[in-house]
Amino acid sequence: MRPIIVAAALFAASPALAQQTPPPPAATAPVSPPDAAAEAAFQARGQAFEGRVRQMGEEMGAAIVAAGPDRARRVTDLDAIQARYQPEMDAFATDLEAFVLPQINALPADQQPEARAAMASAVAQLRGLPATLRAQAEQSADTPPAS
């Protein structure tokens, strides 16, 4: 079930998800992976996605700094950043699900529920990335610097 492992690695690479992502279910039955070209293309897309997640986090951090003590500006700026990235996060989550579900369907019936639950959790976390990163940025802005 290599793509689920690849997907889990993508999620773990994101600081926002590193602590939240459960490990993927272990596959006990071999499942034929997608063709090498499709897998390579999706891995490349995953790497680009990781870059976009980092960029979103950096933009949110910069918005916090730029807003300074102006909470209304901070909220407005973070709203705009979150709204701009949300469709991209949703699209990647949908594509990941479409990429992995055929392999889950090829698993023995007794392994499918756990694999589906792991995939649903991963997809929900991906869709929630903008809100998660925003919450982290806001928390960092509200936390006084250590002396």
Mean pLDDT confidence for 108-137: 94
Task: Print the SS3 string covering the chain.
Answer: CHHHHHHHHHHHHCCCCCCCCCCCCCCCCCCCCCCHHHHHHHHHHHHHHHHHHHHHHHHHHHHHHHHCCCHHHHHHHHHHHHHHHHHHHHHHHHHHHHHHHHHHHCCCCCCHHHHHHHHHHHHHHHHCHHHHHHHHHHHHHHCCCCC
Percent of the chain with pLDDT over 70: 74
Segments making up each domain of the chain, as ranges: 87-139
Mean pLDDT confidence for 16-28: 44
Burial of 18 per CB tally in 10 Å (0-12, 13-18, 19+): exposed
Q: State the pLDDT at residue 26.
A: 46
> What is the token pair recorded at 58?
């950096």
Q: State the pLDDT at residue 131.
A: 96
Q: State the pLDDT at residue 141.
A: 79
Q: State the pLDDT at residue 32.
A: 55
| Cβ atoms 118, 68 nearer than 8 A | no
**Residue 95 vs residue 142, higher pLDDT:** 95
Reported pTM:
0.73
